[in-house]
Structure 1
Amino acid sequence: MSKLFQPISLGNLTLANRIIIAPMCQYSSDNGKATSWHHAHLGQLSFSGAGLLILEATTVEAVGGISPQDLGLWDDETEAAMKELVTSIRDNSDIPLGLQLGHAGRKASCHVPWKGGKQLTREEGGWQTIAPSAIPFADTDAAPEAISLERIAELKAAYVESAKRADRLGFDLLELHGAHGYLLHQFLSPLSNQRTDNYGGSLENRMRLLLEIYQEIRQAFSADKPIGVRISATDWVEGGWDLEQSVVLAKELEKLGCSYIHVSSGGLSPQQKISIGRITKCRLPSESSRKSARR
């Protein structure tokens, strides 16, 4: 039998096979609350036979969504709607369920993709975004507010609260979103993080917030349930986040008991230049990088 169809364990969670449905934003919530679209979409996926279904990026704050239509888990109303969704899936399928928690940072407050995906103006219902430094994603975007230490403390508390809610709802797994140019990725990359305090500058400092949040949600989520982290392995921009730094981060997460690393790439800068080969080829890290990450 192909390894693809053999069981695999993520921490204490054993999956029937190695096919995992990754988080995919639907931009279809009602002020953060799951809707009938989520019931239909995720209900269908729950019958796919995959080993794990991870729900889309779910914001920990009302102002943390990519768009106003992003799924959320930050208060009793969003939790109640999520409970209905989870119950509906569980009533009809035994597929393990994961939830990805995130915050869009400077890439928040945008139109949904089918309306262009550009940043919303205040007149359109947009809001002030936050980031490690006051550097916008695109030249046409309003500058984000450089997040204060007090605001960082609030942000960490929001992640913890969402993790507790996810645990109550019975999710089997959590995934921390540190990829695609969203807030935690913004802290990792020197292109977007030009802070001079303990959260900026050195690689150790730029990794600090993600590692702190991982540790805090690890304490808030049941100890027997796995937590993974999604990262972009490279920004595809010179001087940005890259594979070598990703290996260092992976090693630090392993020390903290992280169950897996979900590897993607890009999303931090409009200047990214992704080399595209033939679709029959798969771009993998070098053998030396893979061996280094395993040490």
Structure 2
Amino acid sequence: MSALFEPITLRSLTIPNRIWLSPMCMYSAAAEGPETGVATDFHLAHLGSRAAGGAGLVMVEATAVRPDGRISAWDLGLWNDRQQDALARIAALIGQHGAVPAIQLAHAGRKASTGKAGSGGGPVAVEDGGWPVVGASPIPLQDGYPTPLELTEAQIADVVEDFAAAARRALAAGFQVVEVHGAHGYLIHQFLSPLTNHRTDGYGGDFAGRTRLAREITAAVRAVWPADLPVLFRVSATDWIADEPSWTVEESVLLAKELHALGVDLLDVSSGGLVPHATIVAEPGYQVPFAARIRREAGLPVNAVGMITEPAQAEQVLTDGDADAVMLGRELLRDPYWPLHAAKALGVQRNWPAQYGFAVGSRG
């Protein structure tokens, strides 16, 4: 048996294999009116095809817990019934294809109110349809971006409750896994890193202060999520900044231990995204060592992401003990049936959807 195709059990939930779809923003939700933030038929087809293609877990992209937490006007949201109902269709379809439906909950913080990625991006001013952005401290992303409003402690409490409320809706919509997005320069990451957190209250300063929001949100989500279903947390293991105080892999290990104690079942290990001047040397598997270190030193399951493209490469990550699962992003965009092709390459028998059997035949 290939390690990639061994089931993995988190709490009472068994995920059929270790190839998971990474959450990737599609910027395809309704952008205005009563349908704002509502998933469309594109999402249904996009996510359903990855489930049909054999991924063991299919995670819906970063889904904002409140309107001003969207990266762009075209992001998914989960703060009302219309959004919940549309996502319920998607969760059901994912499950019908034998995959586990999962969803990532997020708040973009100072990286909110931007244009579509791939269509110029950049900040969108309030007068042009954007909205005021918030953050840990009043530090803009870069020149030309708005200075975020520093969240008050009362506003932070509201954000914590928004994550819990969105988790309740995710459960009602039929999702079996929920992930808290604490990576890639979004709001929680902005609190974690001393590059973006200059606060002097209980949410800033030392490690305990800077990780407080991550811990409070995780605890709030865990409290409303069933005890027999898993909670995941995505972290940027490092800011990739060497010459000034920043978030490091050593702190990621410490945070992982604390999140594990709060009920996080697996850490989704990525990196970067906080500041545009980071120097990242991207190469095949470049983030796997971070996952391996956190798994080894923090003692909880992890998944690895980042330029994992070949079946043998993905298999090696697991057999080496560097991770418990792999998340594929761009590779599953290019080939929704990558898991089925990987099965053949690794000598594992996996059936294609019955509707495609006449085309695949013995070449499956």
TM-score by structure 1 length? 0.95
Listed as ranges, the matches of 1:1-295 within 5 Å are 1-30=1-30, 31-90=36-95, 92-238=96-242, 239-277=245-283, 279=284, 284-285=289-290, 290-294=295-299
CA distance in 2, matches of 1:290, 1:170: 29
User: Which SS does the other structure have where 2:289 is aligned?
Assistant: coil
Q: Tell me by how many angstroms 1:254 deviates.
A: 1.1
Counterpart of 1:199, as a letter, is: Y
Identify which range, 240-249 or 114-123, moves more after superposition.
114-123
Distance change in 2, residues 1:47/1:187 (3 Å): same
**After superposition, what is the alpha-carbon deviation per residue over 1:183-202, rounded to whole angstroms, capped at 9, x for unaligned?**
00100000000000000000
User: Which SS does the other structure have where 2:42 is aligned?
Assistant: helix
User: Which SS does the other structure have where 2:67 is aligned?
Assistant: coil
Distance change in 2, residues 1:224/1:197 (3 Å): same
CA distance in 1, matches of 2:175, 2:52: 17
Q: Tell me by how many angstroms 1:10 deviates.
A: 2.0
Distance change in 2, residues 1:37/1:289 (3 Å): closer
Q: Tell me by how many angstroms 1:163 deviates.
A: 0.6
Counterpart of 1:188, as a letter, is: L
Distance change in 2, residues 1:128/1:280 (3 Å): closer
CA distance in 2, matches of 1:281, 1:60: 31
User: Which SS does the other structure have where 1:257 is aligned?
Assistant: coil
CA distance in 1, matches of 2:72, 2:287: 32
Counterpart of 1:275, as a letter, is: V
Unaligned segments of structure 1, at least 5 residues: none
Counterpart of 1:292, as a letter, is: E
Is this contact kept in 1: 2:270–2:287, CA < 8 A? no
User: Which SS does the other structure have where 2:52 is aligned?
Assistant: coil
Query: Aligned pairs, how many?
Result: 293
CA distance in 2, matches of 1:285, 1:72: 30
User: Which SS does the other structure have where 1:56 is aligned?
Assistant: strand
Counterpart of 1:43, as a letter, is: G
Q: Tell me by how many angstroms 1:80 deviates.
A: 2.1
**After superposition, what is the alpha-carbon deviation per residue over 1:166-212, rounded to whole angstroms, capped at 9, x for unaligned?**
11111111000000000001000000000000000000111111111
CA distance in 2, matches of 1:142, 1:58: 22
CA distance in 1, matches of 2:183, 2:102: 17
User: Which SS does the other structure have where 1:193 is aligned?
Assistant: coil
Counterpart of 1:197, as a letter, is: D
TM-score by structure 2 length? 0.77
Distance change in 2, residues 1:253/1:288 (3 Å): closer
Counterpart of 2:21, as a letter, is: I
Distance change in 2, residues 1:143/1:93 (3 Å): same
Unaligned segments of structure 2, at least 5 residues: 31-35, 301-364
**After superposition, what is the alpha-carbon deviation per residue over 1:236-282, rounded to whole angstroms, capped at 9, x for unaligned?**
013210100000000101111210000000000011001245x4877
The structure having more radius of gyration, on CA atoms, is 2
Q: Percent identity?
A: 44
Q: Tell me by how many angstroms 1:294 deviates.
A: 2.4
Distance change in 2, residues 1:171/1:241 (3 Å): same
User: Which SS does the other structure have where 1:274 is aligned?
Assistant: coil
User: Which SS does the other structure have where 1:114 is aligned?
Assistant: coil
